[in-house]
Structure 1
Amino acid sequence: MRRRVKEELVAGLYVDDLIVTGTRAEDIDSFKREMTARFRMSNLGTLSYYLSIEVRQGKEALTLAETDEGQYHGEGRCTLYRSIVDGLRYLVHMRPDIAFVGDYVSRFMEDPREDHWAAVKRLLRYVKGTVNQGIVSPKTVGSGL
């Protein structure tokens, strides 16, 4: 958090998701430029969903509502996309062969387009066809505990 007289900038980071808010748009833009210069980042625009919290931004108020992943809340395709991609994020730990595509499709959690859906479907077909594959390492001599 950065704080000056009557000015604040707050950044929230969870794994690979970053949100930035503040009292001045110029400070937010400056912070984004700094982070983009140091890290590979993509700007997903106005916040509408973060850590299972739906964010609705209006002129007079900001509304936060915890979403139920089982319900669609009028944005069923986005919720389904998030659910599938979240599952793929866990699978990446056991299947490094899908790490690049898993990372790529997770960048579009806020607003998946048809080509993102196509990539996810293609990845799911690949996983289904290679379900018996895993991390292979040379055989070592040892004993179990």
Structure 2
Amino acid sequence: MNGKCDILIVYLYVDDLIITGNCVKMFNDFKKEMTNEFEMTDIGLMSYYLGIEVKQRDDGIFISQEAYTKEVLKRFNMENCNPISIPIEVEKKLSRHVKEGPIDRTLFRSLVGSLRYLTCTRPDILYAVGYISRYMENPTTYHFKVAKRILRYIKGTIDLGIFYPASAAFTWTSKKQPIVTLSTCEAEYVAVTSTVCHAIWLRSLLKELSFIQDESTQIYVDNKSAITLAKNPVFHDRSKHIDTRYHFIRESIAKKEVQVKFVKSKDQVANIFTKPLASKSYRVDWE
């Protein structure tokens, strides 16, 4: 890194290098040094890599998997299927105990694996794919139909992807909580604490890159009780059974590293990662 604004990032995959950054001089100097040291071939700007298409623009980068999506649809004979508006029904409840015949495990796992790779640029299918992934051990034709429904959804949204604006950092994750909670408030509180820990880590990482954040990181929560619990330094009956480490959020708020704000559930964009949504709510601002 040279100065406060110049960054060079190098990705290594087996014997391939991907170089990116915001300083042309650093980029050219590194490329020249590597070419002199090793026998390498410059294939130019990256536009397609491991099934991911990259379109560089003046205001940022757009990544998608349109070509890979078409390959997946063709592989499972769904290239001519009728598209639908949501990947999974809102009231859909899957179970291991269904009265339908078994399906070939290899076929089902191949479909799920292909869909999981698509989540690299399609977080809108993350919940649905994670849901059907629970039934790979003994899948049935019922589970296979649910998985193919996701293919029908991506058939109608084949050109979607993620747009990264210039000079913007973006990270997301979705996983089950490691503990059993006794209420919705407690579940939200634990989730917020986990988010705060990740935010603090990102702030520290950006600081190492000389991008210091003076303002508090905004954490949006759609549960007022969890917000009240996070801001209240006094332990009482509602929180005395919660593990002490989950109260880390209170210290972060006191230091003004983060700020917890309320957001209505209908405006909580993170819901797309955690639950099935109706078609009118299934909106993502891709650009």
Please give the TM-score of this superposition, normalised by the length of structure 1: 0.44
Please give the TM-score of this superposition, normalised by the length of structure 2: 0.23
Which structure's CA Rg is the greater one? 2
